[in-house]
Structure 1
Amino acid sequence: MSAGRKGKADLLRVVVIGGGTGLSVLLRGLKHEPVHITAIVTVADDGGSSGRLREEMDMLPPGDIRNVLTALADTEPLMEKVMQYRFSSGTGLAGHNLGNLLLAAMNEITGDFVTAVKKLSGVLAVRGDVLPASTQSILLKAEMEDGTIVSGESQIPLAGKRIKRVFLEPADAIPLSEAVQAIAQADLILIGPGSLYTSILPNLLVRGLFEELQRSSAPKVYICNVMTQPGETDSYTAADHVEALYAHVHHPFLETIIVNSADIPAAVLEKYAEKGAMPVRCDLDRLTALGLEVIAKPLVTFEGGYLRHDARAVSQQVISLMKQKKGLPE
């Protein structure tokens, strides 16, 4: 039975926390499963079209929200092209994404970003709820291992230095109450996939959000990236990702990690190596020592020479895990 045929109250509730391309790929698969999805999305983006709209219109950055709305939408393919269309010319328009401009317009019309997202969700027949982690303007900063401070989500990976920690300004950013409530009601909480320091941690560093996540009895699962990210996670193993999460929130909070075990073709590895990326190694002994259940399976697909999580395979693994944790039949 599809998610669309069951009442919202009857469905198991999955909360997905993150941002960026990785989260959108996962949601494209998860929306076909019989669950209710709430995506809690970072609002720390300050680059490109999002950054310009954030600065010029004093609004939350719409880019990650737009990607998630598009991923969860039950619409014609043409509408997806409209949402993702980026202008290549035009004074003031060049570089802007049409979906971002739609969110900006809806924000102006409704006077409230959360309401704007809800209204556009209705237009796009989005399967689930899409919520910003906070409605405050948040600046992401990073302290590098050499002690220098880099300001701005878009600038951190470009610094060419190893990251010691990231932090928010303001440090006491208030979470969206609906996001906190979604975590409290969740049957399963998924973290990632996505950029560790610039997509995932900006959500977890919203204190009230993480405090609720800690209180929740729902299983907490981390979907690890397939490849390292230049400027963020150079040479990181799977355990390095987990330890970075724990170091920032000062508490171990995960039960399970999902990692890819599929071999990656040499030609694809060479393509990524040119950009300084390599596969994230599953260091099983360290992960086990961290008390994690490790699910290592072939979970990738290849699109145009690039690696992506196989949305359906990962989603089916997530649903199977949730049913197992809930004691439900497969």
Structure 2
Amino acid sequence: MPVRHVLVVDDSKSARLMLRKMLQGFGLTVDTVDSAEEALVYLRTQRPDAIFMDHTMPGVDGLVAARQIKREPATALIPITMYTSKDEPAYQDEAREAGAVGVLVKPATPEALGSALEEMSALFDAAATQAISPPPAPVPTVASHAPSLEQMEKIAEKIALEKAEQVIYDAIESQVLPLVNDVIAKLRRDFESNQEEICSRIATGVCEASFAQREPPPPDSRDVRAALEAVTQSQWLPLLEERLEAFQHAERAENDKRVKEAALQVFQEQAAPLAGRVLEQSRAMLTEATQKADLAAREVALETSQQTVLQALAEVSSAGSGASDQRAAAEEAFRRLWGSAKHDIEKQIYRAASWAAAVGIGAALLAYLVR
């Protein structure tokens, strides 16, 4: 079972009260004495579950008292932890040789105190499983420090005084300390509020004084105007010109883009009807040119034939020979003239066909380009 009743041995009143308060926080019953001699007298009639022993005390020190307690069968099983500011490894080994469980270093923390209580509880449980100890016998004291009857009476008075002080401290903690804490908290709030206001006023005054010292004299209006004009001439005007030129360039590019898009849209909308009309006109022109070429070729052929016949007749008439010779001469002249006329007719037809073909190719190319 866990430790429930603890004895604190320390000559420092503040250390006793602090450790007592922490142990009570773990729900333990705590008794305190201020010397090793008083602890030995206490153990004659009381059996705590564990002991926290200081090392440096007037009279018998803590290690001597621990050895004495461990030599007596009635108290040998009580776990002892040295409560001191010594934390050297050599001292810890010496404390264990004297019978202590370990060392709790001052000032104690709740974590370290909890670990020490767990270790002492384990030893206390192990001791509880052993045989019941005989009735407590008087613990012989160290020969060189055997207390007399008068010393024992003083020790008893101290224990009674310690008990009375504990009762008073408990009353103070339960009744007076809450009121004191409330008053302290109120004073702290008032102090912090006043301090904040005072610091704010001081900081404001310091800043105003500093700004007043560093404030430059008011500038002359002419100097300001001249400075503004210089800045405008040197920086603003070039910047504005550059921005205006960039804007104009962007505006021109945007306008060109818009014109191209509009022209392309109009062209796409008008291209198909225009191409159809051009193609129809080209076909009509081609038909008309072909008809004209055919008619011209016929007229040329007829005129050439007529001229050939007339010329042949004239040549026959001019010849003074017989009928057979005239017929032969007429046929010869007709063949000669007809060959020449035929050659002219072919040239005229070739020219008309070439002109018609050129017109047709031009119309087809125009229709393709329009599409």
Higher helix share: 2
- Using CA pairs below 8 Å that are at least 6 residues apart, which structure has the higher relative contact order? 1
TM-score above 0.5: no
- Bigger CA radius of gyration: 2
Give the TM-score of the pair, scaled to structure 2: 0.25
